[in-house]
Chain A
Amino acid sequence: MTRVSPWLVALALLVAAVGCADDDAAEAAPPEVTGAETPEPAAPDVAAVYATIGDPGPDGDTLVGASTDVAERVELHESVIDDDGSARMVELEDGIDVAAGEGVVLERGGLHVMLMGLETELAEGDRYELTLEFERGGEVTVDVDVVPTVGGDDGGGGHDGQDEAHGDDDG
């Protein structure tokens, strides 16, 4: 006859309980955020953050806010070019939709996190922390790299698809 030690039973229950807690946390996990960068700001007080926000899972998510120690205020913005060719930057008070199965890209000339009232000078090569708050997934803190003001192709997403639209013909 085999006797099961009560201690082993207790340990098994504990492991199961911890396992469950882990599962709950995974369900509410924020989407993966990669490539977070800020071009070294040319102005002394404002800067933009660009990043790729990964697939939030089948339920989708919304980026509802952001915060950082390097700026007084952080807003979620979108630059838009109107039909008359004029440029405007608007605050997205309802947040940025992170599409289920897709995610979203914050890039030049489009969606961005905007830092206002910079309290720390950001220079190329610096790295600072930015906390992104998602409606479902909660908070995630990412490292943002400060990249050169004048870097590679800064043309943004090519709003009208010019040039990029022909990129596939080369193959």
Chain B
Amino acid sequence: MGRVRALPPRLRALAAGAVLLTVGALAVLGATLAGGADEAPSTAALADHPGAQLLQNPLPNPEATGFHGAVLAEPIPRPDFALTDTDGRRFDFAEETAGEPTLLYVGYTSCPDICPAHLAQIAGAMAEAGLDTDELRVVFVTADPARDDAERLERYLAAFDDGFTGLTGSPEEVDAALAALGQPAAEVFGERPDGSYEVTHPSQVLAFGPDDRARLVFPFGTSREGWVADLPRLVAGEVPS
């Protein structure tokens, strides 16, 4: 510090620049080693998790894959996290859903658009495909545990299908669940004077097969026909090639 202060202003700026460059170079190197040179530092740490593929927002290619969901290059293993269900029971996701076809979605109940449209699409497609939640589990994890308590979650999910499972927990537990999925923590933004706010969350639904791997993710905007075509194949344990 003292040495830098003793330098003439121009040299001081140069020295400061060199420090910044070194820090920057180390950051880039770190990100490169972690597998994602162009990722923000927070996501770089997660970049070697197969869930990081979601951050590339993979798109479906039905003509090539035969599936209407996007087929992942590397399957995502069923994540290991524990939260609380709407009956107040501890819910260990990997344990409770092991071997069962499962759709997993992270969202929040104060979202009036993407979240309900996704859940309605799933409920409608399951009804159309003749699947119930005994055959295909649907798990909704709140990204907004501060507002989404068990009661609010239960009432919300019942509007779609009372067989859907809702999970909440402490903010730390929710962040840990997202990290187990290779996802960055949810961000709160758009605070209003009345205290309401919005939350970011992954837009895709992950589809785990009976082999405990997610090979398919469904982006928002997947058509009803697409869901109806893919879900029975997921339940049957069909694996995209």
Q: Which residue of B lies closest to A90 (CB)?
A: B190
By the criterion CB–CB under 8 Å, are B203 and A81 in contact? Answer: yes
Q: Known contacts A43-B109, A48-B112, A149-B160; is A162 also within 8 Å of B190 by CB?
A: no
By the criterion CB–CB under 8 Å, are A155 and B54 in contact? Answer: no
- Rounded to whole Å, the gap between the CB of B3 and the closest CB of chain A is 42
Q: Which residue of B lies closest to A89 (CB)?
A: B198
By the criterion CB–CB under 8 Å, are B121 and A153 in contact? Answer: yes
By the criterion CB–CB under 8 Å, are A47 and B112 in contact? Answer: yes
User: Chain A interface: which size bin?
Assistant: 35 or more
- What B residues does A42 contact at CB under 8 A? 109, 116, 119, 155-157, 159-160
A43 to B117, CA, bound (A): 13
- Rounded to whole Å, the gap between the CB of B157 and the closest CB of chain A is 8
- What A residues does B55 contact at CB under 8 A? 84-85
A144 to B117, CA, bound (A): 18
Please give the number of chain B residues whose Cβ is less than 8 angstroms from any Cβ of chain A in the complex: 53
Q: Which residue of B lies closest to A91 (CB)?
A: B190
Interface string of A88-103 (1 = CB under 8 A from B): 1111000000000000
By the criterion CB–CB under 8 Å, are B62 and A84 in contact? Answer: no
- What B residues does A46 contact at CB under 8 A? 110-112
A68 to B180, CA, bound (A): 43
Interface string of B149-168 (1 = CB under 8 A from A): 00010011101110000000
Tell yes or no: B196 within 8 A of A by CB: yes
Tell yes or no: B209 within 8 A of A by CB: no
By the criterion CB–CB under 8 Å, are A154 and B124 in contact? Answer: yes
- What B residues does A90 contact at CB under 8 A? 190, 198
A74 to B190, CA, bound (A): 15
A157 to B221, CA, bound (A): 6
Q: Which residue of B lies closest to A83 (CB)?
A: B57
* Surface stretch bound by B, among A16-24, A112-120, A129-137: A112-120
- Rounded to whole Å, the gap between the CB of B34 and the closest CB of chain A is 16
- Rounded to whole Å, the gap between the CB of B66 and the closest CB of chain A is 13
Tell yes or no: A79 within 8 A of B by CB: yes
Q: Which residue of A lies closest to B161 (CB)?
A: A150
- Residues of B56-88 whose CB lies within 8 A of A: 56-60, 62-63, 68
Starting from the known contacts A87-B202, A153-B124, 4 additional A-B residue pairs (CB-CB under 8 Å) come to: A87-B107, A149-B160, A154-B120, A159-B219
A interface vs B, CB < 8 Å?
A: 39-48, 73, 77, 79, 81-91, 108-109, 112, 114-117, 149-160, 162-164, 166
B interface vs A, CB < 8 Å?
A: 43, 54-60, 62-63, 68, 107, 109-114, 116-121, 123-124, 127, 152, 155-157, 159-161, 184, 189-190, 194, 196, 198, 200-204, 219-226
